[in-house]
Amino acid sequence: MRSLRESCIRHGLLTSASISILTSFGILFILIKESLPFFEDVSPWEFLTGTNWAPLMVPRDYGVIPLVVGTLLVTGVAALIVIPVGSLAAMYLSEYASSRARRILKPTLEVLAGIPTVVYGYFAITVVTPALRAVIPGVEVFNALSAGIVVAVMIIPTVASLSDDAMRSVPNALREAAFGLGATQKEVTVGVVYPGAISGVMAAYVLAIGRALGETMIVTMAAGSTPLLTLNPLDSVQTMTGYIVQVSLGDTPAGTPGYMSIFAVGLLLFVITLSLNLFRIWIQRRYVRYDT
Q: Is 176 in the site for another protein (CB under 8 A)?
A: yes
Of the candidate residues 30, 181, 278, 281, the single one contacting another protein (CB under 8 A): 181
Residue 94 Cβ vs another protein, minimum distance, rounded to whole Å = 14
Query: Which of the stretches 16-24, 104-112, 153-161, 166-174 binds another protein when contact is defined by CB under 8 A?
Result: 166-174
Binding part of the chain for another protein, among 87-95, 114-122, 178-186, 265-273 by CB under 8 A, reads 178-186
Using CB under 8 A as the binding rule, whether residue 278 contacts another protein is answered as no
Choice from 180, 253, 254, 285 touching another protein (CB under 8 A): 180
Among positions 48, 187, 246, 273, the unique one binding another protein when judged by CB under 8 A: 187
In the set 196, 224, 233, 258, which binds another protein (CB under 8 A)? Answer: 196
In angstroms, give the least distance from the CB of 180 to another protein: 4
Quick count: other Cβ atoms within 10 Å of Cβ 136? Answer: 12
Minimum Å distance from CB 275 to another protein?
28
CB 286 → another protein: shortest distance, Å? Answer: 13
| Least spacing, CB of residue 193 vs another protein, in Å | 11
User: Would you say 192 or 265 has its CB closer to another protein?
Assistant: 192
- Work out whether 78 is an interface residue with another protein (CB under 8 A): no
Residue closest to 194 by CA, chosen among 289, 84, 46, 87: 87
Does 138 bind another protein (CB under 8 A)? Our answer is no
Whether the bond between 107 and the residue before it is cis, its omega within 30 degrees of 0, is no
Q: Please, what is the minimum distance in Å from the beta carbon of residue 159 to another protein?
A: 22
| Stretch near another protein under the rule CB under 8 A, chosen from 6-14, 181-189, 237-245, 256-264 | 181-189
Of 67, 227, 235, 221, nearest to 150 by C-alpha is 221
Give the residue with the Cβ less far from another protein, 26 or 171.
171
Least CB distance to another protein at residue 191 (A): 6
Binding site for another protein (CB under 8 A): 171, 173-174, 176-184, 187, 191-192, 195-196, 288
